Amino acid sequence: MRGMTSQTWLITGASTGLGRVLAETVLAHGDRVVATARNVTALDDLVGPGADDVVRLPLDVTDHDQVRAAVAEAVERAGAIDVLVNNAGHGLLGALEELSDEQIRRIMATNVFGVLAVTRAVLPHMRARRSGHIVQMSSVGGAVGNPGHALYATSKFALEGMSEALAGEVGPLGIRVTIVEPGPFRTEFLGRSMEFAEPIDDYRSTPAGRLREHFATGDGAQPNDPRRAAEAIIRAVRDESSPLRLPLGPEAVTRIREKLRRQLADLDAWEKVSLDTRYPEV
């Protein structure tokens, strides 16, 4: 039996990976899940303690008509959407020059425009209730741009900028936003969820080439447990004092801290040049 304070979570990309683990963990905590996936039959074995704890809906986030229909059905069947988790997405490995136009369009359609479509479809419902929480699944790659992962970083940097602005827009309306920045977790991200560009030999010995080699052999060896990530996300949703950004995993925390330190050092070193922009005083 779900408690009086239980919430309904709409999770995109819930059939595999962190989305699936999060859906299972949310159910274990006594909340309800609206689980979506392009292949909805992959959700058949997702069950909760109660017969009505799981609503399964087909959803390709790049089909914006289907997005609007799925959100409307989710609200009708579940009664409310308390938490939206924009989890659907994929990686794209390759130096900027190696990427095809189609690969670029595909990752932006899913990781940016798909997230925008789902968020915009859910917002009127949350705004009317003056309540809700939007969890945006970014990455350490949304804070630190990896050579060889340029378009993935582009998509996640865009997500972070949009979400930071969104938090300021909807906060006064009772809606919270959390940007989750995971490091390497043992999911299918380096397997079925990763797309590889056609390599150019000149990049083989560069950082972009080394990242390709690392990612090609890293699937299944990631050091972090997705269930612990799911628990951290649930904790952030339930804690009113949780931050806008939630890095997950030692690798994410270390790399983000190193970047911020470098950025502050550069800001200090070039402050005189940066400030010298005024019109001369008359």
Task: Report yes or no on whether pTM surpasses 0.85.
Answer: yes
| Residues 89-136: tens digit of each pLDDT | 988 999 999 999 999 999 999 999 999 999 999 999 999 999 999 999
Q: Which helix (H) or strand (E) holds 68?
A: helix 64-78
Known active-site residue 241: no
**Domains (ranges, CATH) in the chain?**
8-250 (3.40.50.720)
- Whether 15 sits among the annotated catalytic residues: the reply is no
Q: What is the pLDDT of residues 188-235, one digit of tens each?
A: 655 566 788 899 999 999 999 888 877 766 566 677 799 999 999 999
Q: Are the C-beta atoms of residues 55 and 77 closer than 8 Å to each other?
A: yes
Q: What residue has token string 């899913």?
A: 110
- Close Cβ partners of 257 (under 8 Å, ≥ 6 residues apart): none
Q: Which of 152, 155, 163, 203 is catalytic?
A: 152
Residue 203 annotated to the active site: no
Catalytic residue among 15, 139, 155, 156: 156
Q: Among residues 138, 139, 155, 163, which one is catalytic?
A: 138
